[in-house]
């Protein structure tokens, strides 16, 4: 059996986290972890060293942008995907290029776009089937 990919979801809305966990848990080889704000995401990323962190841009305590910056420094192998419903696609793409490995998923599209976005940044052996 292949190793499990570790995916960290950070969003300040519990319902969003639960929905994303449910969506991603359908991938048998992925272990899903959660954080309620950017600071917790940074702390969890240091502890877990996730393969991928999915960060909401707008969060209390520490934004997804600030968390992505810190994660780059502390766990540089973690791939980052930013998500938000507060930015135009153009703004989000610019932020994603600067802070998120070029990956952005609009919250309105997570149901169809998040799993493929994660697969794009994972090594082949950790991708969903």
Domain with residue 68: its CATH number is 3.40.50.2300
Residue 19, in any domain of the structure: yes
- Give buried/exposed letters for 67-79 (b at 16+ CB in 10 A, else e): bbbbbeeebeebb
Structural domains in the chain (count): 1
Q: What residues make up the domain containing 39?
A: 5-124
Q: Which residue, 95, 92, 101, 91, is CA-closest to 71?
A: 101
Residue 129, in any domain of the structure: no
- Full pLDDT tens readout for the chain, 129 residues: 557 899 999 999 999 999 999 999 988 889 999 999 999 999 999 999 999 999 998 899 999 989 999 999 999 999 999 888 877 767 767 776 776 566 888 888 889 999 999 999 998 888 876
What DSSP designation does 3 have? Answer: P
What is the predicted pLDDT for the residue at 3?
76
What is the predicted pLDDT for the residue at 19?
94
Residue 60, in any domain of the structure: yes
Helix, strand or coil, per DSSP, at residue 30: strand
Q: Are 84 and 106 in contact (CB under 8 A)?
A: yes
Q: Are 117 and 129 in contact (CB under 8 A)?
A: no
What is the predicted pLDDT for the residue at 115?
93
What is the predicted pLDDT for the residue at 84?
83
pTM, rounded to two decimals: 0.90
């Amino acid at each position: 059996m292949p190793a499990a990919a570790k995916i960290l979801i950070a969003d300040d809305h519990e319902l969003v986290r639960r929905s994303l966990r449910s969506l991603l848990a359908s991938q048998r080889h992925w272990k899903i972890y959660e954080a309620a704000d950017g600071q917790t995401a940074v702390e969890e990323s240091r502890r877990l060293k996730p393969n991928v962190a999915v960060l909401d841009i707008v969060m209390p305590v520490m934004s997804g942008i600030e968390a992505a910056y810190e994660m780059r420094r502390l766990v540089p192998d973690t791939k980052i995907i930013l998500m938000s419903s507060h930015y135009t696609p153009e703004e989000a793409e610019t932020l994603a290029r600067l802070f998120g490995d070029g990956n952005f998923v609009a919250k309105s599209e997570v149901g169809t776009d998040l799993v493929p976005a994660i697969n794009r940044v994972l090594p082949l052996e950790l991708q969903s089937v």
